[in-house]
Amino acid sequence: MSSTREYEACPRRYRFGYVEKRPKDRPVPPSWRFGTVVHAALEAAWKAAMDAPVDVPVSAHLDAALAALDVALAAEGLEDERARAVDVVTRALEVDAVRDGAVDHDADLPLPRPVGVEEALRGRIDQEHRIIGFVDLVLERPDGVIELVDHKVTSRRATPDELHDDFQLNLYGRLARARFRDATGIVATHHYPTGPESVSVRLDEAEMARAEQRVRDAARAIAQDSEFTPVPAEGCRHCPWQPSCPEGTAWVETHGA
């Protein structure tokens, strides 16, 4: 589904990444790599939580999270960031803003249950084309609502309206609808481990259907495209192939790096 957004923003960038599978000209920025290591730690903790009774807090799996964190720090060459990463992960697990936000503290209900971590949600466009997306965490709330959680290691917070209209979350929601057929509703959540805090919104069926249609339209356009015309714009600043794209390089030089 990120391929749809990539194609819509710049067909040439899509061609570089998804058709030619070109190695990136520029390294991934350190801030993204920091997000990767925090993700790895949270993933390990929630995987352990899936095998534990639902009332065991996720912070009980801090050791598993820190072990995964150390592996990821070494893989990303970010050992110098260990203290900050440990602090973010420890507080994120202790506060557990995801489950805390979903719970009515006056009701005597069990906690939401993790039912998927790095969960692959799949769909089919036609005989040849499939849709696949990975959700960081899937929770089943006691009322049967399925909650799709995206860990966002960023300083920017989305508003509920932004979440409601978010293409990727709506597409995830559509795929989750097909996967969890008994769900009483689909909720999308951005979890911000650096807060820690979270923002949630209930997705609506029409918006989820629109997201799926958008993927189908993009797939049709890609199948008929032989030019993959570049569309220089703001995204060129962070495009990993900008050094080998004359139009993108010219745009950045004209508009200031």
Please report, as ranges, the residues that interact with ligand SF4 according to CB under 6 A: 10, 12-13, 230-232, 235-236, 239, 241-242, 245, 247-248
Please name which of 191, 55, 192 lies closest in space to residue 113, comparing C-alpha atoms.
55
For the bound state, the minimum distance from the C-beta of residue 45 to ligand SF4, rounded and expressed in Å, comes to: 36
User: What are the phi and psi torsion angles at 126 (to 5°)?
Assistant: -155, -165
Tokens 């040849």: give the residue. 128
For the bound state, the minimum distance from the C-beta of residue 9 to ligand SF4, rounded and expressed in Å, comes to: 7
In the complex with ligand SF4, the residue whose CB is nearer, 225 or 247, is: 247
Tell me the three state secondary structure of residue 148. strand
Show the CA angle centred on residue 27, arms to residues 34 and 222, nearest 5°: 105
In the complex with ligand SF4, the residue whose CB is nearer, 30 or 246, is: 246
In the complex with ligand SF4, the residue whose CB is nearer, 12 or 152, is: 12
In the complex with ligand SF4, the residue whose CB is nearer, 15 or 152, is: 15
Please name which of 148, 140, 153, 98 lies closest in space to residue 121, comparing C-alpha atoms.
148
For the bound state, the minimum distance from the C-beta of residue 236 to ligand SF4, rounded and expressed in Å, comes to: 3
Residue with nearest beta carbon to ligand SF4: 248
In the complex with ligand SF4, the residue whose CB is nearer, 122 or 238, is: 238
Return all residues near 228 (Cβ < 8 A) that are at least 6 apart: 11, 12, 14, 15, 19
In the complex with ligand SF4, the residue whose CB is nearer, 101 or 240, is: 240
Give dist(CA 167, CA 215) in Å, integer: 10
Chain centre distance of CA 58: 20
Tokens 């997306």: give the residue. 133
Q: How far apart, in Å, are the Cα atoms of 205 and each of 54, 137, 172, 185, 210?
A: 29, 21, 12, 9, 9
For the bound state, the minimum distance from the C-beta of residue 23 to ligand SF4, rounded and expressed in Å, comes to: 14
For the bound state, the minimum distance from the C-beta of residue 32 to ligand SF4, rounded and expressed in Å, comes to: 17
For the bound state, the minimum distance from the C-beta of residue 31 to ligand SF4, rounded and expressed in Å, comes to: 19
Q: Radius of gyration (Cα) for the chain, nearest Å?
A: 20
For the bound state, the minimum distance from the C-beta of residue 26 to ligand SF4, rounded and expressed in Å, comes to: 11
- The residue length of the chain stands at 257
Give dist(CA 244, CA 248) in Å, integer: 8
In the complex with ligand SF4, the residue whose CB is nearer, 17 or 193, is: 17
